Amino acid sequence: MTVAANRVDSSVAQTMGDLLSRSPLDHDEDFFLTGGDSLRAVELISRLTEQFAPGDAEKSAELGSMLLVAVFDEATPRSVSAVIQQHLD
């Protein structure tokens, strides 16, 4: 994993933990199994989109769509950060 990918992974884990009022999730911990729900998932998508695609409406919409699928498919920091990293590359 590259340094940039590590930063994205850590940021996602921290954001998930913040939304759950706990420490950052481990890289393979599931957001929903640790207390997340659909409202928090929407907030997660919003925060990550704002962080990783700021100021560009088209890129924000694209990342938001990708994150929506990713979060409800496999909501671990590792899988969500992989989607963000793909978007950034």
Here the CATH number for the domain that contains residue 35 is 1.10.1200.10
Query: Structure tokens of 31?
Result: 């957001």
CA dihedral 30, 35, 39, 45 (to 10 degrees): -30
Total structural domains within the chain: 1
Distance CA 46, CA 57 (A): 13
Predicted TM-score of the model (pTM): 0.90
The answer to whether the CB of 77 falls within 8 A of the CB of 12 is yes
Q: What is the pLDDT of residues 53-85, one digit of tens each?
A: 877 888 899 999 999 999 999 999 999 999 999
Residue 71 belongs to domain spanning: 3-88
pLDDT classification of 3: cutoffs 50, 70, 90: low
Residue 30 is predicted with a pLDDT of 97
Spatial neighbors of 46 by CB under 8 A, at least 6 apart, are: 64
